[in-house]
Structure 1
Amino acid sequence: MKNTTLILQQLRLLMLNASIVGPEYLSAYIVPSSDAHHNIRRADCDQRLAYVSGFDGSSGTAIITADSALLWTDARYYTQAEKQIDDNWTLMKDGLDGTPSQAEWLRDNLPFQSNVGVDPTLYSRGEWSSMLTSLNFGNIILTPTSINLVDISWGDDRPLRPTNAVIQLPTQFTGKPVEEKLIQIREDVVNAGGEVLVITELDEIAWLLNLRGTDLPEAPTFFAFAILSEEEIQLFIERSKLSDVIVEDLVAVTNGSIEFHPYENISAELQRQATTRNGKFYFSKNCNFALTSVVDESRHIIAVSPIALRKAIKNWVEIDGMKKALIREAATLCQFYYWLEVAMEDGENVSEVSAASKLLDFKRTKENFVSLSFKTISASGPNGAIVHYFPTNETNRRLLTEEMYLIDSGSHYFDGTTDITRTFHFGTPSDHQRDCYTRVLKGQIAIAMVSFPNKTPGHAIDALARQYLWEAGYDYGHGTGHGVGAYLNVGEGPQSINSNYNPDDPGLTENMVISNEPGYYEEGNFGIRLENMIRVVTSSVNSGFLEMEDMVFVPYQHKLIKIDLLTEIEIEYLNAYQEKCRQIVGRFIIENDLGIQVYEWLLKETEPIIPFP
């Protein structure tokens, strides 16, 4: 728990400093968790919310006034936030009845015509417009600050922006050359009525140019902006990140139409093009307000980026690569689970940290492995109830045979990205734990077996995963599925499976890859999550319909399954699934000499489930 007293004192003084914020002092200052690129993962230099509050979850917003400091976050992070923020802060549990929105709180607690400041690079155009409108109802003024106050407070201790080298990803992994992607995206922009596409999301730039980087933790992206028009593409990037070979190849594949600019020159160049062009500028809905403000609003097209839509539907090379990566990952997990089971039986001192470290050791031996795709969630006992828990030396717990153990892990391979979760008990689970586990498993099976019309939005099938938990009065506070990139972000959109309506969801389409991860979390006791990756495919039964294809084949722990809660169809599904584990992953284990003990463990864990008479 971080002591934030001095930081808050500094920020409150800055809010009154006329030379920084102007003659109208700020009554409140907003600190979002986002960065200028709407990244899922953020570099250390952009961890402003963590700096001011101590809370390092991926989603949250702080509001600081003269006498209050409040943190809004969603249900995934309630428990984590309570453990990380000190007594200076009030936790606002977003999504619960009785919790006001940020705008409502500001309207109710600030004087008439107060000024509320925020860095405009950290709000999207939509977020800015929504907050502006909401505050105007209370005669509160939303003010863009030209300098981020947190950065001033952070000073010389703020980490530098990474400038790591960029690499090329060959078409043997991408399946589509840059030239073809540029043609398709340019057509999409023109068809939408645009002249220029402003690209600010890092995974979109990486996908478009078949490049990858290491600027962000566990994300193969790099800091850059891009502006694409019919005649040229301009890339705003620290030049030292690009080798001469990459520059030469980009010049060649664009027929010399690419220009390179310093990263920080994006705003100035956008301003120049706004004065020399007459057409409309296509901005992603996630583009930050500061950049969209450079172009007159009458010339905006603000929508889901055409790159996001193209990227979400994987080509056949990407699908094949992801399948191969997932077989490697499944075999690695079998190695790890076998090792872990033996270690627990032998009474070894295995901790959350040492288990995660051992799993990484296994991963590093596999072909095309690059890195983890997120920090491994290795959670024992009550830590499992913290949805996005990452063990540290301070929170590290020993794994005990009396407790549940949840491990959520993913990898980046050159040919695909993975994300898989399993939950275990190495002793004798209680009837309650088995009941909860089986209800989560039934929900996962329901998603895996669903058939639905083409373009059905993900929120329309989300309840299938929750129905068996709801029967017992349970639920979980996160989505059921997110998109997964092809050696890109482990969480990508615009598709999702979520109980909340997603206005950007284009509907599930063939060859989208998405996670399937229902869960259940009992604070102070245990957490359960089961996660596979699935591909949307054409239905083998109903014309015009789609269904799901499992891409992950990792066993479930039989002792946690209450067979009497399963239907005959669910048992048939599980038996077929476990046979695929044997055939697909078992073959890989044998052919790659991962150990006869590992293969025998797999056979033991995939015995057919026999229903009670």
Structure 2
Amino acid sequence: MNLLRMTPKCTTNLLQKLRGYMKNTKYVKEPIHAYIVPSSDAHNSEYLAECDKFRDFISGFTGSAGTAIITENEALLYTDGRYYLQASQQLDPNWTLAKEGQPTTPAQGDWLSKTLPKGSRIGVDPKVYSFDKFKSLHSKLEATGHELVPVSTNLIELLWADRPARPTNPVKPLGLKYTGTTVDNKLKSLNDSMKEKNAEYLVLSALDEIAYFLNLRGSDIEFNPVFFSYVLIANNSFTLFINDKQVSKDVLNHLNTQVSGNYKIEPYENVYKKLEELGRQVNGNVWFSEQSSHALVDLIPTNRRITTDVTPIAIMKAIKNPVEIKGMRNCHIRDAAALCCYFSWLEHNVNKEKITEISGAEKLEGFRKQQEDFVGPSFDTISSVGPHGAIIHYKPTKETDVQITSDQLYLCDSGGQYLDGTTDVTRTLHFGNPTQYEKECYTRVLKGQLKLGSRIFPLKIRGNCLDSFAREYLWQVGLDYAHGTGHGIGSYLNVHEGPMGISWRPIDTDPGLQVGMFVSNEPGYYQDGDFGLRIEDIVEIVEANPPHNFANRGYLTFETITLVPKMNKLILVDMLTDEEIKQLNDYHQKCVEVVGPLLEQQGQMQAREWLIRETRPISRKN
């Protein structure tokens, strides 16, 4: 199968008009020489509502990570290794792809400093550019004789005649059955953290932090159960800024039940006015996340005290409580049942009827819908055949959709939102005869995943220290993958959750791995134009008991809660050690023991038979 290329968006006229706006003092105080368009909204969200996809609109690139930089003569799109291939297909000839993470790619500030004449002004909308990024880039540009300036009018919005309206979808309470603790308890904990920082106020702008704090969920951003809002926290009180339409009687009853102190509800847009007022009278610190927008932080004058750091709620949210831990484990069991149903159905029918990447993804969602407490997918299913699998965050469209066959590898990365948790799992399958090279690559990815999944490590070590375990067997033969190895995951919240992670890049906000956190374990390998491989599990961080405990530091390990078989057909058993064979066989035995009874209970006997067959113990041939 040849790779079906995506049709780039023609951006010639858009860039011409944008360059005109960059010189027009009706929209900028003084002409600017470059304009930066990040891939974020006013809340620094990873995934965006349609109305906030400014970078997509100007560039045509639709990946979740990337920054567009437009000058008088050039247009650059910076993105990371997950999207190199996708961006190369979606950008028209007006654009140059800058591959972040490669040694030859200059940092954005370096490129601007070298490309633009001395004294250049670089503009950005401060409402969609985080404070930490603005501060860092401002310092770098200032040192080279340039200036980073906030542009209050979003220049892309001027071009976007049919820009969608901001969603105001219903907000719903999430009960104690799923959250495990009240808003009151969370507020008390936050107030304690604020006292330690001498913070009089704490500003929450990240949407998942607000949803978590208030035990509320929404649907303003597809696949992410969040709603547009801000929260200003004071001592034993808070103000919620949200669209009035989203505050139902159920929401008010929920807050009145779970909050003993004072709280107010004000319109969403009032947050700027409120912080402006606060800036004139506050005596103590105002605490913002370092990822709050520059526009928000800038409302507090420099003569006042500002703290910019990871919010206490980010860490509270990452360390699941006992109810959330139980929910995460349980929803992964039900999710595994749905995946077993899908993969067994696929294997049974792939040569009998036409199943495509899109229709396969729809069938999988149908199986998930049969599971208790299912709400919807946690992201667009990456259902990818052959060379499409090498596009790391591939999303099938009508234009690119192809048939799933028994001739090529099939990579399926999918997840579900359940009331008791969020799932994210990737399996790579082959329904025919994989090549020896495909098997070797798969086995090297598997060996790395098994190694990382069985590590013992000190309490609060950063995930960056563990990343190379997953890459070791690929590195041995000069292979690698251009994405991180693990991300945090929410509890019926965002599928990608910080502040911790496992990556070759250091994560400055990582507080260190702790009991109760959940992260992914997902090494892969991608051969452009040919195939992609990834194996992804969600793992829970639990206590370990090694024979020694240096300095009483405490040691941790991972427990895999994803319970879906790994395809034995793709494994070169002779490449595995005895320890790895035992680890895989034990894992498969657990899949059968935990998921098998649920499939039987649900009457899914074909899926149960598939599960039993796919988890047969492996051994070396004598």
* Superposition TM-score tier, normalisation by shorter sequence: over 0.9
1:472 aligned residue: 477
AA of the residue aligned to 1:314: K
Q: Which of 324, 334, 341 is residue 335 of structure 1 equivalent to?
A: 341
Provide the C-alpha distance between the structure 2 equivalents of 1:99 and 1:306, rounded to a whole number of angstroms.
35
Task: After superposing the two structures, state which structure 1 stretch, 280-289 or 136-145, moved more.
Answer: 136-145
Q: Which of 261, 271, 275 is residue 266 of structure 1 equivalent to?
A: 271
Deviation at 1:160, TM superposition (A): 0.5
State TM-score, norm by structure 1: 0.98
Q: Which of 91, 98, 104 is residue 97 of structure 2 equivalent to?
A: 91
CA offset digits 1:329-363 (Å, max 9, x no partner):
001000000000011243x2111111101111111
Q: Residue 71 of structure 1 aligns to a residue in which SS?
A: strand
Deviation at 1:137, TM superposition (A): 2.3
Q: Which of 181, 196, 199 is residue 194 of structure 1 equivalent to?
A: 199
> Counterparts in 2 of 1:54-73, with a 5 A limit?
54-73=60-79
Structure 2 alignment gaps of length 5 or more: 1-7
Deviation at 1:140, TM superposition (A): 1.2
1:522 aligned residue: 527
> Counterparts in 2 of 1:63-212, with a 5 A limit?
63-155=69-161, 157-212=162-217
Q: Which of 209, 217, 222 is residue 217 of structure 1 equivalent to?
A: 222
Q: Which of 13, 16, 19 is residue 9 of structure 1 equivalent to?
A: 16
Task: After superposing the two structures, state which structure 1 stretch, 251-260 or 287-296, moved more.
Answer: 251-260
2:564 counterpart of 1:554? yes
Q: Which of 575, 590, 607 is residue 616 of structure 2 equivalent to?
A: 607
Q: Residue 113 of structure 1 aligns to a residue in which SS?
A: coil
AA of the residue aligned to 1:115: R
Q: Residue 160 of structure 2 aligns to a residue in which SS?
A: helix
Deviation at 1:164, TM superposition (A): 0.3
Provide the C-alpha distance between the structure 1 equivalents of 2:57 and 2:13, rounded to a whole number of angstroms.
12
Q: Which of 249, 253, 260 is residue 254 of structure 2 equivalent to?
A: 249
Provide the C-alpha distance between the structure 1 equivalents of 2:154 and 2:213, rounded to a whole number of angstroms.
31
Deviation at 1:249, TM superposition (A): 3.1
Deviation at 1:592, TM superposition (A): 2.1
Provide the C-alpha distance between the structure 2 equivalents of 1:302 and 1:540, rounded to a whole number of angstroms.
37
CA offset digits 1:301-333 (Å, max 9, x no partner):
111110001000001100111111000000100
2:328 counterpart of 1:319? no
> Counterparts in 2 of 1:338-349, with a 5 A limit?
338-346=344-352, 348-349=353-354
Q: Residue 336 of structure 1 aligns to a residue in which SS?
A: helix
Provide the C-alpha distance between the structure 1 equivalents of 2:62 and 2:198, rounded to a whole number of angstroms.
40
Provide the C-alpha distance between the structure 1 equivalents of 2:278 and 2:545, rounded to a whole number of angstroms.
50
CA contact (8 A) 1:251 1:258 kept: no
Deviation at 1:244, TM superposition (A): 1.8
Q: What is the CA RMSD across the aligned residues, in angstroms?
A: 1.1
Runs of 4+ in 1 over 4 A off after TM superposition: none
> Counterparts in 2 of 1:351-362, with a 5 A limit?
351-362=356-367
AA of the residue aligned to 1:597: Q
Give me the identity figure in percent. Answer: 45
Provide the C-alpha distance between the structure 2 equivalents of 1:363 and 1:238, rounded to a whole number of angstroms.
32
Provide the C-alpha distance between the structure 1 equivalents of 2:513 and 2:560, rounded to a whole number of angstroms.
15
CA offset digits 1:394-432 (Å, max 9, x no partner):
111112222111000000000110000000111111110
AA of the residue aligned to 1:50: D
Q: Residue 25 of structure 1 aligns to a residue in which SS?
A: coil
AA of the residue aligned to 2:23: L
AA of the residue aligned to 1:10: K
Deviation at 1:245, TM superposition (A): 2.8
2:587 counterpart of 1:577? yes
AA of the residue aligned to 2:165: L
Deviation at 1:232, TM superposition (A): 2.0
State TM-score, norm by structure 2: 0.97
AA of the residue aligned to 1:303: D
Structure 1 alignment gaps of length 5 or more: none
> Counterparts in 2 of 1:267-286, with a 5 A limit?
267-286=272-291
CA contact (8 A) 2:138 2:148 kept: yes
2:4 aligned residue: none
2:491 counterpart of 1:486? yes
Provide the C-alpha distance between the structure 2 equivalents of 1:253 and 1:400, rounded to a whole number of angstroms.
53
Deviation at 1:371, TM superposition (A): 0.6
Provide the C-alpha distance between the structure 1 equivalents of 2:257 and 2:480, rounded to a whole number of angstroms.
53
AA of the residue aligned to 1:136: E
1:428 aligned residue: 433
